Amino acid sequence: MTILLIILTITIALFVWGKFTPDIIALSSMLSLFLFGILDLKETLSGFSNPTVIMIAALFIIGEGLSQTGWTALSGRKFVEWAGKSVPKLLVIVTMGAGVLSGFVSNTGTVATLMPVTISSAWKIGIMPSKVLMPVAFGSNTGGLLTLTGTPPNIIVSNALTDAGFKGFSFFEFGLIGLPLLIIAVLYFRFFAHKLLPSNKTNNKPVDIESTLHKWIEGYKVDDDYYRLRIRSISPLLNTKIEDWQFEKEFNVSIIRIKRRHPSVLKKIKPFIEFPSPATEFLYHDIITVKGETEAINRLMIKFRLGLLPLEPIRDELKHNLINQEVGMTEVLVTPKSFLVGRKIRRGNYFKRFGIQLLAASRNSKPLLDKIITVKSGDAFLLRGTWENIELLKEQHENFVICGSPEGMAKNIDTLTSKSFIALGALLLMIVLLVFKIVPSAIAALIAAGIVIITKCLPVAKAYKGISWISVIMIAAMIPMGIALQKTGTAQLIANGVVEYLGSIHPLALLGGVF
């Protein structure tokens, strides 16, 4: 018991010190329990098979799925719209928003997804980000007390109750206490705490998706040759393939994207062809996105009897039609040792080797408007491809240097797709399974996480990245400490002492002592 108390004291001291990460401290504590003979091998590693740990890891995946499919970005955009220019109103929105979201998504996941939009909204209304970041942290921690899955401690104590032979807590039972606490936190920030919140000055203004698109439009003159055309019933393009015509050679026009007006699951017609190939067939009422000079587009429309569709403001056009949950854009610089240096490439070309499309280029901060470009070191390219292929460009560091954070930009896409509703449906399914106790809580979370991954709402690689392994390993490695406290009689000794000294005073004193 003495050795155990020494290990526990050192563990707590290291947590408070903060020099080492929590997972390393917890693992060291776990190993110490085994090396000093307090626990056997099975007891030492029992935390890694604990249902609580499995469920927490699955919840991180579900939260990342909601983030990747646009729900968190959409919520963040709504925050800014509702707050307007009012600082107190923004504090209320971010605190309450973080609280409600963290009731269903992990606290860490909530903060990670709301932080970019919170910082951006602070800059937009003219205050320092430090003024609104602390309320997000408090809101997510308090909101974790709304539901059974809101925060790992809730799951741990519920499972402990079940293991002791009692009925576990229901899904929303925590909310009876958690909701009043969240409301108090919101009111406190609204009327008192906003005067105490720090206003730390910084020049590190974030680049959000709106400002990034504006920079690309100005730097690459994307709006000079961007058009959307509709294929009419009288068009000779109908039911032909791209390779049947000489669009590049005859008209100097590149086909960027095709939107099907009549998609069909039975006929295997997808709603979008993001990167048309020579074998892609034109269908009735297709909307084709093209790049080319105005004169060339006019000749194309006359020859093929195409209709010209009005464009939104170019920034919205890029955001809505060229960027979505699956496909994005990024800016790269050509390195001196790149294999592209000296080669001639055509704007609008799709490079199968990398799975990307060259939309525009610039040199010395001036747009290159020629259709065929002789590449030089230092040239900047605006590329379009799937987010997955854009991420893979990082491996091409000898050829390209990626500017900015494509992964961060992908999370700021606030348009919803069918996958968005699948991810939301998976979350709702988990809640139903938990509320009605159809399956154990860990199985319910695994089912929901499995749906998110199998339906490709979240790629497997990003699913693993989305898990906060430090939190998962820390909890798994600290569970054996609880076993050791029980096995050595330390827990019983402490419990008896608390009950004897505080319980004799008043039940509220006992509750305060436990708290």
pLDDT in tens, 19-56: 999 999 999 999 999 999 999 999 999 999 998 899 88
Please, what is the Cα angle at 87 between 82 and 88, to 5 degrees? 85
Instruction: Give which of 364, 361, 335 is closest to 347, Cα–Cα.
Output: 361
Lowest-confidence segment of 110-119, 275-284, 333-342 by average pLDDT: 110-119
pLDDT at 206: 56
- Average pLDDT of the residues in 357-362: 88
pLDDT at 79: 73
- CATH code 3.30.70.1450 region(s) in the chain: 210-320, 326-410
Strand order through the sheet with 287-291: 272-273, 254-259, 287-291, 226-231, 306-308
pLDDT in tens, 402-451: 887 777 777 677 778 888 999 999 989 988 888 787 898 889 999 999 99
- Average pLDDT of the residues in 339-364: 86
Lowest-confidence segment of 35-39, 179-183, 273-277, 320-324 by average pLDDT: 320-324
This model's pTM is above 0.75: no
pLDDT in tens, 193-214: 878 888 888 776 655 677 777 7
Q: What is the mean pLDDT of the chain?
A: 86
Whether 13 has a pLDDT exceeding 90, the answer reads yes
Phi, psi of 383 (to 5 degrees): -110, 150
Residue 506 CB neighbour total at 10 angstroms: 10
- Average pLDDT of the residues in 467-482: 93
User: 226-231 and 272-273: which strand pairing?
Assistant: unpaired
Please, what is the Cα angle at 322 between 395 and 266, to 5 degrees? 100
- Domain 210-320 in CATH 3.30.70.1450: yes
User: Cα–Cα distances in Å, from 386 out to 329, 354, 390?
Assistant: 8, 10, 6
Query: What are the residues whose beta carbons fall under 8 Å from the beta carbon of 261, sequence distance 6 or more?
Result: 284, 285, 286, 287
Buried-exposed string 2-13: b where 16+ CB fall within 10 A, e elsewhere: eebeebbeebee
pLDDT at 291: 82
Token pair, residue 301, equals: 């429309």
**Residue tagged 């006992």 (tokens):** 510
pLDDT at 146: 92
Q: Which amino acid is at 55?
A: M
pLDDT at 2: 94
Helix (H) or strand (E) holding 287: strand 287-291
pLDDT at 223: 64
Q: Which of 320-334, 401-415, 476-490 has maximum average pLDDT?
A: 476-490
| Sign of the alpha-carbon torsion through 394, 395, 398, 400 | negative
What is the 3-state secondary structure of 172-218?
A: CCCHHHHHHHHHHHHHHHHHCHHHCCCCCCCCCCCCCHHHHHHHHHH
DSSP characters over 83-95: HTT-HHHHHHHHH
Residue 227 DSSP one-character state:
E
Q: Which residues pair with 307 in a beta bridge?
A: 230
Whether 256 has a pLDDT exceeding 90, the answer reads no
Q: pLDDT-based confidence at 312, cuts 50/70/90?
A: low
Whether 1 has a pLDDT exceeding 70, the answer reads yes
pLDDT at 374: 92
Phi, psi of 319 (to 5 degrees): -65, -40
pLDDT at 34: 97
**Residue tagged 């009012």 (tokens):** 86
pLDDT at 150: 84
Whether 322 has a pLDDT exceeding 80, the answer reads no
pLDDT at 357: 87
DSSP characters over 385-420: EEHHHHHHGGGGTTTEEEES-HHHHHTT-----HHH
Residue 261 DSSP one-character state:
S
pLDDT at 318: 66
Query: Residue 508, exposed/middle/buried by CB under 10 A (0-12, 13-18, 19+)?
Result: exposed
Integer Cα distance of 446 and 463 in angstroms: 12
pLDDT in tens, 99-146: 988 887 767 667 766 776 787 778 878 888 888 889 999 999 999 899
Phi, psi of 234 (to 5 degrees): -95, 5
What are the strands, taking DSSP E only, across 314-405? 327-334, 344-346, 350-351, 356-363, 366-368, 372-374, 380-386, 400-403
Query: What are the residues whose beta carbons fall under 8 Å from the beta carbon of 435, sequence distance 6 or more?
Result: 170, 171, 172
Asked whether 255 and 217 are in contact (CB, 8 A), the reply is: no
Q: Which residues pair with 361 in a beta bridge?
A: 368, 381
Asked whether 452 and 62 are in contact (CB, 8 A), the reply is: yes
Fold of 326-410: Alpha-Beta Plaits (3.30.70)
Asked whether 98 and 139 are in contact (CB, 8 A), the reply is: yes
pLDDT at 398: 87
